[in-house]
Amino acid sequence: MTSREDGRAVDQLRPVTITRHWLDHAQGSCLIEFGRTKVLCAASATEGVPRWRKGSGLGWVTAEYAMLPQATHDRSARESVKGRIGGRTHEISRLVGRSLRAAIDYTALGENTITIDCDVLQADGGTRTAAITGAYVALADAVSHLRENGLLAGEPLVESVAAVSVGIIDGTAMLDLPYVEDVRAETDMNVVMTGSGSFVEIQGTAEGAPFDRAELDTLLGLAEKGCADLTNLQQQALAS
């Protein structure tokens, strides 16, 4: 039997904390922690939309993900210093944006733009799933800000969105992998789901050996459980 280094059950999340209003300027923000992974999520709401969307009556939501140089075990070089954004950063920024857009009705948002920044202050696996889960909380607060200022055309938040990683390690499927498990995983999958239990995004990769339909089903089951738990934590944070 595979036992986890931190003693968790295979279907158990790491301790998750969501600290809302961590920043003063952004219209919505939180510091989300999945174990030692810490992501600062901030959402700024501004009137108006990008040029290509003007006059459509529709809003826009976009996201940027990045990692501080000292977030990783060995310091990594700044992308601003390198003068270019790496493929991984691009890929995750796009994933976060797509995921959050699934929560939004653009017509109800009206011609407002919400920009979400997810900055990883410390990385210990699952940074993109923590980012999406925290970003939803920041997004909800930014939408509230627009609502309180009478800037909405309706109720744009049609769903909540949460995300979690799952993987297969030594043949066992597990939920919410920290770095030490992630590097050993044969298969690694990130799943984004709505609060009502539908899939928004599935990204599964055979890092080691290819996987079959049965393994895929087990992973999806774990992800459904994890996303449901995260949805509860989001609701608690937003209710407080």
Known binding positions for phosphate: 88, 126-128
3-class DSSP state of 179: helix
For residue 207, which amino acid is it? E
Which residues fall within 8 angstroms of residue 181, CB to CB, at 6 or more apart?
Answer: 4, 5, 125, 167, 169, 174
Binding of residue 211 to its own copies (CB under 8 A) = yes
- The only residue of 14, 16, 44, 157 in contact with its own copies, by rule CB under 8 A: 44
Q: Does position 228 bind its own copies by CB under 8 A?
A: no
Least distance in Å: CB of 76 to its own copies? 10
| Rounded Cα–Cα distance for residues 135 and 218 (Å) | 27
Per CB under 8 A, contacts with its own copies among 120-179 are: 121-122, 124, 159
Nearest-angstrom CA–CA distance, 51 and 143: 21
21 contacts its own copies (rule: CB under 8 A): no
The token duo for 131 is: 């980012």
- Shortest Å, Cβ 79 to its own copies: 4
Strands of 28-34's sheet, edge to edge?
16-20, 28-34, 37-47, 112-122, 60-67
End-to-end CA distance of the chain: 40
Contact call for residue 218 and its own copies (CB under 8 A): no
Instruction: Tell me whether residue 171 or residue 239 sits nearer to its own copies (CB atom).
Output: 171
For the segment 72-101, give every residue that binds its own copies (CB under 8 A). 72-75, 78-91, 93-94, 98
Identified binder of its own copies from the candidate list 1, 5, 7, 24, rule CB under 8 A: 24
* 51 contributes a contact to its own copies by CB under 8 A: no
- Distance separating alpha carbons of residues 55 and 9, to the nearest angstrom: 52
Tokens of 78: 């700044």
Give residues in contact with its own copies (CB under 8 A): 23-26, 29, 36, 40, 42, 44, 46, 64, 66, 68-75, 78-91, 93-94, 98, 102, 115, 117, 119, 121-122, 124, 159, 189, 193-194, 196-206, 209-213, 216, 220
